[in-house]
Amino acid sequence: EAQVTQNPRYLITVTGKKLTVTCSQNMNHEYMSWYRQDPGLGLRQIYYSMNVEVTDKGDVPEGYKVSRKEKRNFPLILESPSPNQTSLYFCASSTPGGGGGETQYFGPGTRLLVL
């Protein structure tokens, strides 16, 4: 089954304790992105990657890191989490083509609470 998986689905942590949220897709997609979803703000892009070893900042990259060492994986790293990073996080993947109208496939989400 074609899918994007994220782990963990739920995470409670404390300020300053490094954490990683994993994302993996099995569709051989080149593009991958991370978003955060906050009430009233919709989805905001954190980072995106157009291919292996190619990453770029989205709209809200502060406090986050990513890496793309393999095509299928795109982990999100919070080196020193803070309470304002409490949010619902989504990973998404897509493949180029379609003249820029490529459809994104989303993971199930990771709900993070930073105390």
22 binds another protein (CB under 8 A): no
- Site for another protein contains 101 (CB under 8 A): yes
Say how many residues touch another protein, by CB under 8 A: 28
Question: Which 3-state string (H, E, C) describes the chain?
Answer: CCCEEEECCEEEECCCCCEEEEEEECCCCCEEEEEEEECCCEEEEEEEEEECCEEEECCCCCCCEECCCCCCECCEEECCCCHHHCEEEEEEEECCCHHHCCCCEECCCEEEEEC
- x-or-dash string of contact with another protein, 59-88, rule CB under 8 A: ------------------------------
Binding to another protein in span 41-60, by CB under 8 A:
41-45, 48, 50, 56, 58
Work out whether 7 is an interface residue with another protein (CB under 8 A): no
